[in-house]
Chains A and B, each alone.
Chain A
Amino acid sequence: MADLKTNFCGLQSPNPFWLASGPPTNTGGQVMRAFEAGWGGAVWKTIGDPIRNTSSRYGAIDLNGVKMMGLNNIELISDRSIETNLREITEVKKRFPKHLVIASLMVESKREVWQDIVRRAEDAGSDALELNFGCPHGMSERGMGAAVGQVPEYTEMITSWAKQVAQTPVISKLTPNVTDITRIAAAAEQGGADAVSLINTINSLMSVDLESFAPTPNVAGKSSHGGYCGPAVKPIALHLISSVAKKIKIPIVGIGGIGNWRDAAEHIAVGATCVQVCTAAMHYGFRIVEDMADGLAAYMDDHAYGRIEDFRGRAIPNVLDWGDLDLNYKVIARIDRELCIGCQLCYAACEDGAHQAIERADATGGGKKNTNGMGVHVPRIIDEECVGCNLCALVCPVDRCITMVQVDTGLPPMSWKQRTGQAG
C-alpha cells in the first residue's frame, strides 16, 4: 500500500493534501472538521489587521450546465481579530498535533510589523508560515498582497524580514499576475524562503449582467476585479509550477484547480511537494479529500510508487522549450470504424478549424448501419493531408475512437534549435 506521508521542509504531513488559505480555513471549527475528514494540513485564512468585506463576494462561471467551472472572489483576508485566530490555532494544534497548521500572514510592509506577527503566529503553535504575497484584489490597493508579490525586490525583502526571526519554515505565496513568475520565485528563494506556494488567484472580472450591466459579484450594482480559481485554472498552475521548478531549488506547494487525486498527481508530477485545495472544498465540502487520498494511493499502487517522492517531478524533464521539440516526430489520426457513431464533429472541426484532412462519408455512410438500420456516416482521414494536430481526437465524443498513431518518417530526431544551429 502506497505511503502518502509527506516530508515538507522537515515537517511530517499525514498526506500531501492541505486546505489552502481561504474561506474553508476561516475558523478553528472548520479546520478541525477538515482534519477529521482527512486533510493532512490547513493553511489558515490569512491573518492580519481585520478587514470589512463586501456582500456579495463570489462569482462563478458554469459550462453547459456544469456548475462552477471557475470561481472568483473579492473577499479579503480574515475579518476576525488576530487574537481570535491565534487562540484557535493553539486549540487546533492541541487537538491535532500530527496535522500541519500553517499560518497565512499579511500585514503592512514594515519590518517590525511582519516580525511581530511571525513571532506571534509561531508562539500560537503554527507549524509553518505562509506569507501572502498573492492576493490580487483589495489588499493590493493597500500596498499588500499582490502589490508585494509583483515586485521581486519587495518579495525578497519581506521574505528576508520574516526569515530573520522565524523558527519554522517560511513559504512565500506567489501571484500569477506577473510577467515572469520565475523571477519572483527566485527573489523569494534569495530572500531565504524555505518554500514557495503557487498559484494564487488570477485577476478576473467574472461576468456582466446584460440587463443591468452590473458586473459580478454584484455589490450594489457594481463590482471589482477578483481572484479567479477552480477547475479552469489548473493548466495555468501546471505551467507556472513547472517553470518555477526548473528555476529554483526549494520545495514548491502546488495550488490551482485541484479537484481530485488526478489533478493533485499532475501538480506533484510537475514538482509540487504538497498541494493546496480551496474551490473544490467550497463546492463540495471537506469530504472530497477521502477520494483524493484513496485515488492517489490506488494510482501509486498501480505504478508501484511506494512514496510520493517516487514520482514527484517526473514530468519536469519533459517540459521543454518549443525549440527543443523533435520536428521529425509525426502522428496522424486513425478513426475506429466500429466505435464511430457518425456525428461528423471531426469532419466539421478539421474542415473549418484545421487542415482539411478529413473526408465525409459518401451517401451510404460507407455501409455502416445503426441499430435502427440507419446509415452511420463514418468519415475518412486523408493521410497525406493530416498534420497530426490532435483536433479531431479532441472533439471526438467517443473514447478511443480517434487515436493518433505514430508514423515513421525515416528521419532522425531534429529540433528547431538543431535545425537552425542553435543547439547547445
Chain B
Amino acid sequence: MNLRETAPKLSPEQYEKNFAESPPAMTSRQAAIEAARCLYCFDAPCISACPTHIDVPTFIKKISSDNLRGSARVILEANILGHSCGRVCPTEVLCEGACVMHEKQEKPIEIGRLQRFAVDYVLDRNIQLFHAGQPNGKRVACVGAGPASLACAAELAKFGYLVTIFDRNELPGGLDTHGIAAYKLRAKDSLREVDLIRALGVEFRQNTTVGRDVLFEKLEKDFDAIFIGIGLGETWDLKIPGDELDGVVGAMEFIEPTKTRAFKDVPVGRRVACIGAGNTAIDVVTAAKRLGAEQVHLIYRRGETDMPAFRYEYDLAKLDGVTFHWRTQPTRAIGQDGKVSALECVHTRSESAADGSRKIATIPGSEFIIDVDLIVRAIGQKPVTQLLHEVAAVALRENGTIAVNKNHQTGNPKYFAAGDCVNGGKEVVDAVAEGMAAARGIDAWCGSPRAKQA
C-alpha cells in the first residue's frame, strides 16, 4: 500500500497503550466480588441468550468457589473458543443483555470478563481439559481455519474423528487471528486458543487453498465428510471513480496487518476515511486512531439512528475522537500521482418511493471534499463460495451463501457448512454454535461411530 502521507509513528509504549486489552483483565479479587454478585438464577436467561448456551451461572459459581479449572471446563465444553468469545462477543446484546440484574435496575454481571478470567487461568497454565476421543476410524476435512471450522473440528475430535483443517492463510484462526480489532483480541491470543484444538489431535494444513492446491475430488476420496467454513472474502467495491487508486483498501486488508505485524509497521494515513457504519467500520476507525491517524472520518449514507454498529461500539469510536458524517455518500476518490488524496462526498436524504419503501437519494449541489490519504471500505464482504461451483449439488442461495438444512448439511450429503459462509456474516459465537451443530450433523450422518473403550 502506497500512501500520499502517513501518520507519524508513535513510541512502542504508546502503541501498546492504545491497543491494550479493553476492558483490562480482572484481578482475582475483582472476579470474586463480581462472581458473588451473580444470583445463580435457575434456568437463567443468560444461558438461552448465548448462541452456544454456556452454563453461565455454573461457571460463575465455580469462580466463587475458586474452582477455576472447573469453571473453564464448563465454558469450553459448550464453546471451545470461549477464550476469544469472552473478548469479542457483543455481550451487551447477548448474555449480559439478558441478565436479570437489568430488571433490578442494577449493572448486569460482567459475564464476558469473568469468562476471560476463568479461561485465561487454564490457558496461562497450559492445563489440558479435553482429550481426543478413541479413534473411530472416520476422517473429516474442514476447509477454512476460522471459528466455525475450529469448533467443528474440536467437537469431532472429541468424538474420535481424525480431522484435518485446510486453510489458505499462513496462520490459522480466521477472523480471530486476522480480522478482529487488536484491542479486543490479539493474534497471539487467537493462536493460543488454536493450540487447544491442535492438542485434540486436529491437523492443520496452512497455506493450502482448497480447489487449487488440493482439489475437492481428492478430499472426497480421502475423507468421510467435508466441512466448509470459509467465511467471507473481499470487501465490496465502492463502485465510484477512483476506486482503483493506491490507498483505497478493504477493511480486512487494513485490519489484518494490525494483527499480524508490529504496530509501527502498519501503514496508516495521516487522514483516513472509512465508508460504512457497521461494527467492522468501527474496528477500522478505532484502529486508525490508535495507530496515530490525526483525522479519521466515518461516512455513512443513512442517519445516526440507522447505523448497524452496536451502541457501545459507536461510543468507543466517539471516545476515540472520530468524526462522523451522517447522510453522506462518497461519489469520487481523487488521486495525485496514482495515490488517493481526497474523497468527494455528497449529502443524502431519505425519500419515499412509489411503492412506499424508503430510499436514499443524493442532494444535488451538496458535494464537498475531504482531504484523505487512506480510504477504507467497510460495506460488507463478498462471498467466496464461487469455488464451490465445481462441487456437485452444493446449492448456493441468491446472496452467495451456502444453503444447508438444520444439521448444516448442504445439497451434497457429504458436504456440511457453517459460519459466515452460511449465515452471511454474524458473530464469532454464532460461527462456533453453528460449527458445533455441524459436527453433530456430520456425526449423525456417519452413524455416530464410537470406538469401543479398551
Residue positions of A touching B, CB distance < 8 A? 64-66, 340-345, 347-348, 360, 370-372, 374-377, 397-398
Contacts and interface: CB of A to CB of B under 8 A. Distances in A.
Q: Which of B32, B42, B44 counts the most A-chain CB atoms under 10 A from its CB?
A: B42
Contacts of B45: 342, 370, 374-375, 377
Contacts of B423: none
22 contacts: A64-B32, A64-B64, A65-B32, A65-B35, A66-B36, A340-B103, A341-B101, A342-B45, A343-B44, A344-B42, A345-B39, A345-B40, A345-B41, A348-B42, A370-B98, A370-B102, A372-B93, A372-B98, A374-B98, A375-B45, A376-B100, A397-B39
B43 interface: yes
A208 to B, nearest CB: 14
Given A370-B103, A372-B102, A345 B42 contact: yes
A344 B36 contact: no
Contacts of A360: 43
Contacts of B29: 65
Main secondary structure of the interface of B (DSSP, over half): helix
B42 A341 contact: no
Contacts of B218: none
B97 A372 contact: yes
Contacts of A375: 45
Contacts of B104: 341, 397-398
Which applies to chain A's interface (DSSP): helix, strand, loop or mixed? loop
A360 B43 CA distance: 10
Interface of B: 29, 32-33, 35-36, 39-45, 49, 64, 93, 97-98, 100-104
Contacts of A66: 36
A348 B44 CA distance: 12
A342 B36 contact: no
A347 B39 CA distance: 13
Contacts of A340: 103
Contacts of B100: 341-343, 370, 376
Contacts of A347: 42
A388 B53 CA distance: 36
Given A65-B33, A372-B97, A343 B39 contact: yes
A342 to B, nearest CB: 6
A344 B40 CA distance: 9
A372 B36 CA distance: 24
B41 A343 contact: yes
Nearest to A371: B102
Question: Which of B35, B36, B39, B64 neighbours the largest number of chain A CB atoms within 10 Å of its CB?
Answer: B39
Given A64-B32, A341-B100, A370-B98, 18 more contacts: A64-B36, A65-B35, A65-B36, A341-B101, A342-B45, A343-B41, A343-B42, A343-B100, A345-B40, A345-B41, A348-B42, A370-B102, A372-B93, A372-B102, A374-B45, A374-B98, A375-B45, A377-B45
